[in-house]
């Protein structure tokens, strides 16, 4: 499971990496995001109806309407930010988006908590020459229209696909990890059939990953805060 990640890529770097023309960048003036939480804004690479790649802001978490068990009346919807790989092809909640609305979710690191009171926050990322090599999660998206937080909202929502953890992540989170895609698989995830895309859902090799930082109270990718203060 992933409930916290960072995307500190410069906007131009996202365009280059994900082959998005500047005219199709709809992020506005995007700032580095050292801590993205559920219900927060998360940039995503989404295909337009004609197959053009766009960069868009999304609400991280599919909106799941809820009703009170006591009164039966609608209450604040839940944001479901992780989509389990074993549910993608069977759940009515996930299946339509997996089959027709897959996206790339840019990131530079993700965090898992280990233990409680206090928890140790472990930030994972990729090995490489850069301090925080960029990558993309396998994502899915859908639109939401309706009451949210007491007001009518129209949102593009996203969720990150998760799978079984590799050896590096398993010590911190023994059940799940987000699916990280190889650059050569970006096209396939976006445009191939659901059957072909499902084959890309595998744990990223532990040998190609690293722990960037860990400790108590680290709910922010400190590399960004340290560099911005320099």
**What local confidence, expressed as pLDDT, does residue 218 receive?**
65
> CA–CA distance from 30 to each of 4, 97, 136, 191 (Å)?
18, 26, 17, 26
Top-confidence residue, 73 or 169: 169
Residue pLDDT, tens place only, 32-65: 999 999 999 999 999 999 999 999 999 999 998 8
Residue pLDDT, tens place only, 208-230: 999 999 987 666 666 544 444 33
Least confident window among 31-40, 103-112, 141-150, 178-187:
141-150
The mean pLDDT of the chain is 92
| pTM of the predicted structure, to 2 decimals | 0.92
For residue 202, the number of C-alpha atoms closer than 13 Å in the C-beta half-sphere is 9
Residue 163: which of 177, 174, 142, 144 has the closest Cα? Answer: 177
In percent, the amount of the chain with pLDDT more than 70 equals 93
Instruction: Give the torsion sign (CA, 133, 10, 17, 106).
Output: positive
**Superfamily, domain 1-32+54-112+132-150+166-215:** SOS response associated peptidase-like (3.90.1680.10)
**How do the domains of the chain map onto residue ranges?**
1-32+54-112+132-150+166-215
Confidence band of 199 (pLDDT split at 50, 70, 90): very high
């Amino acid at each position: 499971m992933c409930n916290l990640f960072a995307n500190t890529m410069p906007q131009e770097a996202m365009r280059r990496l994900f082959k998005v023309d500047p005219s199709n960048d709809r992020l506005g003036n995007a700032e580095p995001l050292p801590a993205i939480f559920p219900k927060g804004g998360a940039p995503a690479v989404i295909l337009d109806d004609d197959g053009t790649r766009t960069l868009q802001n999304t609400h991280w978490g599919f909106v799941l309407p809820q009703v009170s068990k006591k009164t039966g009346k609608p209450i604040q919807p839940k944001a479901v930010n992780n989509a389990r790989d074993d549910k993608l092809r069977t759940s009515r909640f996930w299946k339509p988006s997996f089959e027709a609305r897959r996206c790339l979710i840019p990131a530079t690191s993700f965090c898992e908590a280990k233990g409680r009171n206090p928890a140790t926050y472990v930030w994972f990322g990729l090995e490489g020459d850069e301090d925080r090599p960029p990558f993309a999660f396998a994502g899915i998206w859908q639109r939401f229209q309706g009451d949210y937080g007491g007001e009518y909202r129209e949102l593009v929502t996203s969720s990150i696909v998760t799978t079984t953890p590799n050896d590096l992540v398993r010590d911190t989170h023994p059940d799940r990890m987000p699916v990280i895609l190889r650059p050569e698989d970006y096209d396939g995830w976006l445009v191939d059939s659901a059957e072909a895309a499902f084959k890309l859902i595998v744990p990223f090799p532990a040998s190609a990953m690293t722990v960037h930082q860990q400790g108590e109270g680290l709910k922010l990718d400190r590399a960004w805060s340290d560099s911005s203060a320099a």
